[in-house]
Protein backbone atom coordinates (compact mmCIF):
# COMPACT_ATOMS: atom_id res chain seq x y z
CA UNK A 1 0.00 0.00 0.00
CA UNK A 2 1.33 3.44 -0.95
CA UNK A 3 -0.17 4.82 2.26
CA UNK A 4 1.90 2.53 4.47
CA UNK A 5 5.11 3.12 2.53
CA UNK A 6 4.56 6.86 2.93
CA UNK A 7 3.89 6.52 6.66
CA UNK A 8 6.99 4.40 7.23
CA UNK A 9 9.15 6.95 5.39
CA UNK A 10 7.67 9.77 7.44
CA UNK A 11 8.09 7.85 10.69
CA UNK A 12 11.77 7.21 10.05
CA UNK A 13 12.22 10.96 9.44
CA UNK A 14 10.04 12.01 12.42
CA UNK A 15 7.77 13.78 9.96
CA UNK A 16 4.16 14.40 10.92
CA UNK A 17 1.59 12.50 8.81
CA UNK A 18 -1.40 14.36 7.52
CA UNK A 19 -4.70 13.91 9.31
CA UNK A 20 -6.05 12.23 6.20
CA UNK A 21 -3.26 9.64 6.43
CA UNK A 22 -3.91 9.05 10.13
CA UNK A 23 -7.63 8.61 9.49
CA UNK A 24 -6.85 6.21 6.65
CA UNK A 25 -4.95 3.94 9.08
CA UNK A 26 -8.06 3.67 11.26
CA UNK A 27 -10.17 2.95 8.17
CA UNK A 28 -8.06 0.03 6.89
CA UNK A 29 -9.76 -3.34 6.50
CA UNK A 30 -9.09 -6.49 8.49
CA UNK A 31 -7.53 -7.93 5.33
CA UNK A 32 -4.87 -5.20 5.50
CA UNK A 33 -4.33 -5.33 9.28
CA UNK A 34 -1.13 -7.36 9.27
CA UNK A 35 0.34 -5.02 6.68
CA UNK A 36 -0.49 -2.08 8.96
CA UNK A 37 1.16 -3.81 11.94
CA UNK A 38 4.25 -4.67 9.89
CA UNK A 39 4.61 -1.09 8.66
CA UNK A 40 4.23 0.50 12.09
CA UNK A 41 6.54 -2.20 13.44
CA UNK A 42 9.33 -0.94 11.18
CA UNK A 43 9.02 2.50 12.74
CA UNK A 44 8.91 1.07 16.26
CA UNK A 45 12.01 -1.07 15.71
CA UNK A 46 13.91 1.81 14.08
CA UNK A 47 13.61 3.94 17.20
CA UNK A 48 13.33 1.34 19.97
CA UNK A 49 14.66 -1.95 18.64
CA UNK A 50 12.99 -4.98 20.23
CA UNK A 51 13.07 -3.58 23.76
CA UNK A 52 9.93 -3.47 25.94
CA UNK A 53 9.90 -1.13 28.91
CA UNK A 54 7.98 -2.41 31.94
CA UNK A 55 6.09 0.01 34.19
CA UNK A 56 4.45 -0.79 37.51
CA UNK A 57 1.48 1.02 39.07
CA UNK A 58 1.14 1.73 42.79
CA UNK A 59 -2.25 3.18 43.75
CA UNK A 60 -1.36 5.42 46.70
CA UNK A 61 -4.95 6.43 47.47
CA UNK A 62 -7.96 4.65 46.01
CA UNK A 63 -11.53 5.76 45.45
CA UNK A 64 -13.63 8.65 46.83
CA UNK A 65 -12.60 11.09 44.10
CA UNK A 66 -14.63 14.34 43.81
CA UNK A 67 -14.23 14.46 40.00
CA UNK A 68 -16.91 13.06 37.67
CA UNK A 69 -14.81 11.46 34.90
CA UNK A 70 -17.30 9.07 33.27
CA UNK A 71 -14.75 6.33 32.56
CA UNK A 72 -13.35 6.09 36.09
CA UNK A 73 -14.30 3.55 38.75
CA UNK A 74 -13.05 5.98 41.43
CA UNK A 75 -15.28 8.87 40.29
CA UNK A 76 -17.83 10.78 42.28
CA UNK A 77 -20.99 8.63 42.40
CA UNK A 78 -19.35 5.41 41.24
CA UNK A 79 -20.95 2.26 42.63
CA UNK A 80 -18.19 -0.03 41.34
CA UNK A 81 -17.05 -2.30 44.14
CA UNK A 82 -13.43 -1.20 44.12
CA UNK A 83 -10.93 -0.99 46.97
CA UNK A 84 -11.18 2.29 48.87
CA UNK A 85 -8.40 3.49 51.15
CA UNK A 86 -6.53 6.63 52.10
CA UNK A 87 -2.84 7.36 51.57
CA UNK A 88 -0.36 4.51 51.82
CA UNK A 89 2.59 5.25 54.08
CA UNK A 90 5.93 5.72 52.29
CA UNK A 91 7.18 2.35 53.52
CA UNK A 92 4.04 0.57 52.30
CA UNK A 93 4.33 2.19 48.87
CA UNK A 94 8.02 1.32 48.70
CA UNK A 95 7.27 -2.33 49.49
CA UNK A 96 4.60 -2.40 46.77
CA UNK A 97 7.01 -0.80 44.29
CA UNK A 98 9.73 -3.32 45.13
CA UNK A 99 7.50 -6.16 43.95
CA UNK A 100 7.18 -4.55 40.54
CA UNK A 101 10.90 -3.81 40.29
CA UNK A 102 11.66 -7.43 41.19
CA UNK A 103 9.40 -8.47 38.31
CA UNK A 104 11.41 -6.38 35.86
CA UNK A 105 9.74 -2.97 36.03
CA UNK A 106 12.01 -0.05 35.19
CA UNK A 107 9.52 2.67 36.11
CA UNK A 108 7.19 2.90 39.11
CA UNK A 109 4.08 5.03 38.61
CA UNK A 110 2.66 6.54 41.81
CA UNK A 111 -1.02 7.38 41.38
CA UNK A 112 -3.52 9.00 43.75
CA UNK A 113 -7.19 9.70 43.17
CA UNK A 114 -8.45 13.26 43.55
CA UNK A 115 -8.63 16.55 41.71
CA UNK A 116 -5.05 17.42 42.54
CA UNK A 117 -2.56 17.32 45.41
CA UNK A 118 -2.40 19.71 48.34
CA UNK A 119 1.03 20.92 49.41
CA UNK A 120 0.85 18.38 52.25
CA UNK A 121 0.15 15.66 49.68
CA UNK A 122 3.23 16.71 47.70
CA UNK A 123 5.28 16.41 50.90
CA UNK A 124 3.88 12.92 51.46
CA UNK A 125 4.60 11.83 47.88
CA UNK A 126 8.08 13.33 48.09
CA UNK A 127 8.82 11.10 51.10
CA UNK A 128 7.49 8.12 49.15
CA UNK A 129 9.69 8.90 46.14
CA UNK A 130 12.74 9.04 48.41
CA UNK A 131 11.83 5.73 50.06
CA UNK A 132 11.42 4.00 46.69
CA UNK A 133 14.66 5.38 45.26
CA UNK A 134 16.62 4.55 48.41
CA UNK A 135 15.51 0.92 48.18
CA UNK A 136 15.51 0.38 44.39
CA UNK A 137 18.65 1.51 42.60
CA UNK A 138 18.15 2.83 39.09
CA UNK A 139 14.34 2.82 39.13
CA UNK A 140 12.43 5.70 37.53
CA UNK A 141 9.50 7.24 39.40
CA UNK A 142 6.53 8.87 37.69
CA UNK A 143 3.89 10.70 39.72
CA UNK A 144 0.23 10.97 38.70
CA UNK A 145 -1.63 13.09 41.24
CA UNK A 146 -4.09 15.10 39.16
CA UNK A 147 -4.05 18.80 38.38
CA UNK A 148 -0.92 20.61 39.58
CA UNK A 149 -0.78 24.02 41.20
CA UNK A 150 2.08 26.47 40.72
CA UNK A 151 5.39 25.20 42.09
CA UNK A 152 4.25 21.62 42.74
CA UNK A 153 5.92 20.13 39.67
CA UNK A 154 9.20 21.75 40.70
CA UNK A 155 8.88 20.30 44.20
CA UNK A 156 8.27 16.80 42.83
CA UNK A 157 11.30 17.17 40.57
CA UNK A 158 13.44 18.24 43.53
CA UNK A 159 12.18 15.21 45.46
CA UNK A 160 13.54 12.91 42.76
CA UNK A 161 10.54 12.35 40.48
CA UNK A 162 11.58 11.62 36.92
CA UNK A 163 8.22 12.05 35.19
CA UNK A 164 4.66 13.25 35.62
CA UNK A 165 1.58 11.68 34.03
CA UNK A 166 -1.60 13.51 33.16
CA UNK A 167 -3.62 12.15 30.22
CA UNK A 168 -5.65 14.23 27.78
CA UNK A 169 -7.92 11.16 27.41
CA UNK A 170 -10.07 12.37 24.51
CA UNK A 171 -10.41 15.17 21.99
CA UNK A 172 -10.95 18.75 23.07
CA UNK A 173 -14.25 18.85 21.16
CA UNK A 174 -15.78 15.99 23.15
CA UNK A 175 -14.03 16.45 26.50
CA UNK A 176 -17.05 18.12 28.11
CA UNK A 177 -19.15 15.02 27.40
CA UNK A 178 -16.76 12.88 29.48
CA UNK A 179 -15.92 15.19 32.39
CA UNK A 180 -17.57 18.36 33.72
CA UNK A 181 -15.64 19.06 36.95
CA UNK A 182 -12.51 20.24 35.13
CA UNK A 183 -11.64 21.21 31.58
CA UNK A 184 -9.45 19.97 28.76
CA UNK A 185 -7.43 23.16 29.17
CA UNK A 186 -6.78 22.25 32.82
CA UNK A 187 -5.18 19.01 31.67
CA UNK A 188 -3.05 20.70 29.03
CA UNK A 189 -1.88 23.20 31.65
CA UNK A 190 -0.70 20.43 33.99
CA UNK A 191 1.28 18.68 31.23
CA UNK A 192 2.90 22.01 30.40
CA UNK A 193 3.76 22.58 34.08
CA UNK A 194 5.50 19.18 34.17
CA UNK A 195 7.47 20.07 31.03
CA UNK A 196 8.51 23.44 32.43
CA UNK A 197 9.74 21.88 35.67
CA UNK A 198 12.06 19.52 33.82
CA UNK A 199 9.97 16.43 34.39
CA UNK A 200 9.53 13.93 31.57
CA UNK A 201 5.93 14.47 30.51
CA UNK A 202 3.67 11.45 30.13
CA UNK A 203 0.24 11.98 28.57
CA UNK A 204 -2.06 9.71 26.62
CA UNK A 205 -5.61 8.77 25.75
CA UNK A 206 -8.48 6.40 26.42
CA UNK A 207 -10.08 4.67 23.42
CA UNK A 208 -13.48 3.02 23.45
CA UNK A 209 -15.59 5.75 25.03
CA UNK A 210 -17.82 6.17 21.97
CA UNK A 211 -15.47 8.55 20.19
CA UNK A 212 -15.19 8.86 16.40
CA UNK A 213 -12.10 8.26 14.31
CA UNK A 214 -11.77 12.04 14.06
CA UNK A 215 -11.71 12.30 17.86
CA UNK A 216 -8.92 9.74 18.08
CA UNK A 217 -6.83 11.49 15.46
CA UNK A 218 -7.51 14.84 17.09
CA UNK A 219 -6.28 13.77 20.54
CA UNK A 220 -3.18 12.03 19.17
CA UNK A 221 -2.28 15.11 17.10
CA UNK A 222 -2.81 17.24 20.22
CA UNK A 223 -0.47 14.92 22.12
CA UNK A 224 2.18 15.29 19.45
CA UNK A 225 1.93 19.06 19.77
CA UNK A 226 2.29 18.81 23.59
CA UNK A 227 5.35 16.62 23.02
CA UNK A 228 5.31 14.14 25.92
CA UNK A 229 8.09 11.58 26.12
CA UNK A 230 5.60 8.78 26.70
CA UNK A 231 2.06 8.25 25.40
CA UNK A 232 -0.04 5.63 27.23
CA UNK A 233 -2.87 4.23 25.13
CA UNK A 234 -5.66 3.01 27.40
CA UNK A 235 -8.62 0.95 26.25
CA UNK A 236 -11.74 1.63 28.28
CA UNK A 237 -12.41 -0.92 31.01
CA UNK A 238 -16.22 -0.72 31.31
CA UNK A 239 -16.80 -0.93 35.06
CA UNK A 240 -20.36 -1.62 36.14
CA UNK A 241 -21.44 1.29 38.30
CA UNK A 242 -19.93 3.96 36.02
CA UNK A 243 -21.66 5.95 33.23
CA UNK A 244 -19.61 4.11 30.58
CA UNK A 245 -20.15 0.68 32.06
CA UNK A 246 -22.15 -0.47 29.02
CA UNK A 247 -19.68 0.78 26.38
CA UNK A 248 -18.15 -2.14 24.46
CA UNK A 249 -17.00 -0.46 21.26
CA UNK A 250 -13.59 -2.03 20.70
CA UNK A 251 -12.35 -5.09 18.88
CA UNK A 252 -8.78 -6.44 18.98
CA UNK A 253 -8.38 -5.29 15.38
CA UNK A 254 -9.48 -1.72 16.15
CA UNK A 255 -7.13 -1.58 19.14
CA UNK A 256 -4.22 -2.53 16.88
CA UNK A 257 -5.17 0.16 14.35
CA UNK A 258 -5.30 2.77 17.12
CA UNK A 259 -1.85 1.76 18.36
CA UNK A 260 -0.49 1.81 14.81
CA UNK A 261 -1.91 5.27 14.16
CA UNK A 262 -0.39 6.52 17.42
CA UNK A 263 3.01 5.10 16.44
CA UNK A 264 2.90 6.78 13.02
CA UNK A 265 1.97 10.16 14.53
CA UNK A 266 4.44 9.85 17.42
CA UNK A 267 7.20 7.69 15.93
CA UNK A 268 10.06 8.35 18.38
CA UNK A 269 8.03 8.46 21.60
CA UNK A 270 7.50 5.73 24.18
CA UNK A 271 4.08 4.36 23.21
CA UNK A 272 2.69 2.33 26.10
CA UNK A 273 -0.11 -0.23 26.01
CA UNK A 274 -1.91 0.69 29.19
CA UNK A 275 -5.18 -0.26 30.92
CA UNK A 276 -7.60 -2.57 29.16
CA UNK A 277 -5.19 -4.49 26.93
CA UNK A 278 -6.20 -7.81 28.43
CA UNK A 279 -9.91 -7.00 28.09
CA UNK A 280 -9.85 -5.81 24.47
CA UNK A 281 -6.68 -7.12 22.78
CA UNK A 282 -6.88 -10.49 24.52
CA UNK A 283 -4.96 -13.11 22.50
CA UNK A 284 -3.80 -10.39 20.08
CA UNK A 285 -1.62 -8.75 22.75
CA UNK A 286 1.68 -10.09 21.31
CA UNK A 287 0.96 -8.36 17.99
CA UNK A 288 0.62 -5.07 19.86
CA UNK A 289 4.24 -5.35 21.00
CA UNK A 290 5.22 -4.67 17.37
CA UNK A 291 3.55 -1.27 17.75
CA UNK A 292 4.22 -0.21 21.33
CA UNK A 293 7.51 -0.38 23.19
CA UNK A 294 6.14 -0.20 26.71
CA UNK A 295 3.50 -1.92 28.87
CA UNK A 296 2.28 -2.00 32.45
CA UNK A 297 3.30 -5.09 34.37
CA UNK A 298 0.65 -6.89 36.41
CA UNK A 299 -2.38 -5.13 37.86
CA UNK A 300 -3.80 -1.64 37.28
CA UNK A 301 -5.24 0.88 39.73
CA UNK A 302 -8.57 -0.76 40.50
CA UNK A 303 -8.64 -3.73 38.12
CA UNK A 304 -6.60 -6.90 37.82
CA UNK A 305 -4.30 -7.39 34.87
CA UNK A 306 -2.68 -10.40 33.30
CA UNK A 307 -0.34 -12.27 35.65
CA UNK A 308 3.09 -10.68 35.73
CA UNK A 309 4.71 -14.02 34.84
CA UNK A 310 2.45 -14.26 31.78
CA UNK A 311 3.49 -10.73 30.72
CA UNK A 312 7.15 -11.74 30.79
CA UNK A 313 6.48 -14.97 28.91
CA UNK A 314 4.49 -13.09 26.27
CA UNK A 315 7.37 -10.67 25.70
CA UNK A 316 9.92 -13.47 25.36
CA UNK A 317 7.70 -15.65 23.16
CA UNK A 318 7.08 -12.73 20.80
CA UNK A 319 10.82 -12.28 20.33
CA UNK A 320 11.21 -9.11 22.39
CA UNK A 321 13.38 -8.37 25.43
CA UNK A 322 12.73 -6.50 28.68
CA UNK A 323 14.53 -3.16 28.79
CA UNK A 324 17.05 -2.94 31.62
CA UNK A 325 17.58 -0.07 34.04
CA UNK A 326 20.97 0.51 32.42
CA UNK A 327 19.38 1.13 29.01
CA UNK A 328 18.08 4.51 27.85
CA UNK A 329 14.48 4.27 26.69
CA UNK A 330 14.29 7.25 24.34
CA UNK A 331 16.27 7.75 21.13
CA UNK A 332 19.40 9.85 21.58
CA UNK A 333 17.96 13.00 20.04
CA UNK A 334 15.16 13.01 22.64
CA UNK A 335 17.13 11.74 25.63
CA UNK A 336 19.98 14.21 25.15
CA UNK A 337 18.07 17.15 23.74
CA UNK A 338 15.23 17.23 26.24
CA UNK A 339 11.62 16.40 25.61
CA UNK A 340 11.34 18.58 22.51
CA UNK A 341 14.06 17.03 20.40
CA UNK A 342 14.47 20.41 18.67
CA UNK A 343 15.70 21.09 15.18
CA UNK A 344 13.93 20.96 11.87
CA UNK A 345 11.09 18.46 12.11
CA UNK A 346 11.47 18.37 15.90
CA UNK A 347 10.55 15.50 18.18
CA UNK A 348 7.01 14.29 18.59
CA UNK A 349 5.92 17.89 19.02
CA UNK A 350 6.31 19.25 15.51
CA UNK A 351 3.20 21.09 14.43
CA UNK A 352 1.38 20.68 11.17
CA UNK A 353 0.27 23.94 9.62
CA UNK A 354 -3.37 24.36 8.77
CA UNK A 355 -5.95 21.67 8.25
CA UNK A 356 -8.68 20.35 10.49
CA UNK A 357 -9.33 16.90 11.83
CA UNK A 358 -11.46 14.63 9.72
CA UNK A 359 -11.08 16.10 6.27
CA UNK A 360 -10.89 12.59 4.81
CA UNK A 361 -14.37 11.70 5.98
CA UNK A 362 -15.49 9.26 8.64
CA UNK A 363 -14.63 5.58 8.49
CA UNK A 364 -17.36 3.03 8.87
CA UNK A 365 -18.23 2.47 12.54
CA UNK A 366 -16.21 -0.24 14.23
CA UNK A 367 -17.95 -3.52 14.87
CA UNK A 368 -19.05 -3.48 18.49
CA UNK A 369 -17.19 -5.99 20.59
CA UNK A 370 -19.04 -8.50 22.70
CA UNK A 371 -19.40 -7.51 26.33
CA UNK A 372 -16.61 -9.51 27.97
CA UNK A 373 -17.57 -8.66 31.52
CA UNK A 374 -15.82 -11.85 32.64
CA UNK A 375 -12.50 -10.13 31.89
CA UNK A 376 -13.20 -7.11 34.12
CA UNK A 377 -11.95 -8.11 37.56
CA UNK A 378 -11.72 -5.67 40.47
CA UNK A 379 -8.27 -5.63 42.07
CA UNK A 380 -8.30 -7.39 45.45
CA UNK A 381 -4.55 -7.78 45.98
CA UNK A 382 -1.49 -5.61 46.30
CA UNK A 383 -1.59 -2.00 47.53
CA UNK A 384 -4.31 -1.42 50.11
CA UNK A 385 -4.65 -5.14 50.93
CA UNK A 386 -2.74 -7.79 52.90
CA UNK A 387 -2.26 -9.94 49.82
CA UNK A 388 0.85 -10.11 47.68
CA UNK A 389 0.76 -7.94 44.54
CA UNK A 390 0.69 -9.28 41.01
CA UNK A 391 4.09 -8.51 39.52
Q: Is 339 a catalytic residue?
A: no
Catalytic residue among 142, 266, 339, 348: 142
Q: Catalytic site residue 357?
A: no
Q: Among 44, 69, 266, 334, which one carries the catalytic annotation?
A: 69
Which listed residue (14, 44, 109, 379) is catalytic?
A: 109
69 is annotated as an active-site residue: yes
**3-state DSSP of 67-121:** CCCCCCCCCCCCCCCCCCECCCCHHHHHHHHHHHHHCCCCEEEEEECCCCCCHHH
Element (H, E) at 5: helix 2-12
- 142 carries an active-site annotation: yes
User: What whole-number distance in Å separates Cα of residue 126 and Cα of residue 359?
Assistant: 46
For this structure, is 109 an active site residue? yes
How do beta strands 51-61 and 107-112 pair? parallel
Catalytic status, residue 348: no
Catalytic residue among 124, 272, 277, 334: 272
The catalytically annotated residue of 14, 19, 51, 65 is: 65
HEC secondary structure over 170-236:
CCHHHHHHHCCCCCHHHHHHHHHHHHHCCCEEECCEEECCCCCHHHHHHHHHHHHHHCCCEEEEEEC
Q: Which long-range contacts (CB under 8 A, 24 or more apart) does 385-390 make?
A: 385/83, 388/99, 389/96, 389/99, 389/100, 389/298, 389/299, 390/298, 390/299, 390/304, 390/305, 390/307, 390/308
DSSP SS3 for 333: helix
Catalytic residue among 14, 44, 51, 72: 72
Q: Say which of 14, 51, 187, 202 is annotated catalytic.
A: 202
- List, as one string, the DSSP characters of 359-376: TT-PPPPPPPPP--GGG-
Q: Which residues are catalytic?
A: 65, 69, 72, 109, 142, 202, 272
Amino acid sequence: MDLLNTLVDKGLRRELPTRDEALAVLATSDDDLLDVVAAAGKVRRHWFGRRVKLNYLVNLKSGLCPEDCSYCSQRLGSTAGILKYTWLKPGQASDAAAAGVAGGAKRVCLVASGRGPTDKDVDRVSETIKAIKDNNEGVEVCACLGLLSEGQAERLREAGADAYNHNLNTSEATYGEITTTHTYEDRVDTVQKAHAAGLSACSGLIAGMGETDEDLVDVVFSLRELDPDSVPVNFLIPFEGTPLGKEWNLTPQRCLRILAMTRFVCPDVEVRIAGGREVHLRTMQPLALHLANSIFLGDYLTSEGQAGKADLEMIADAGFEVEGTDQVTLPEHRASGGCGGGGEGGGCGSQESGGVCGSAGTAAPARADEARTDLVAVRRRGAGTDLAPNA
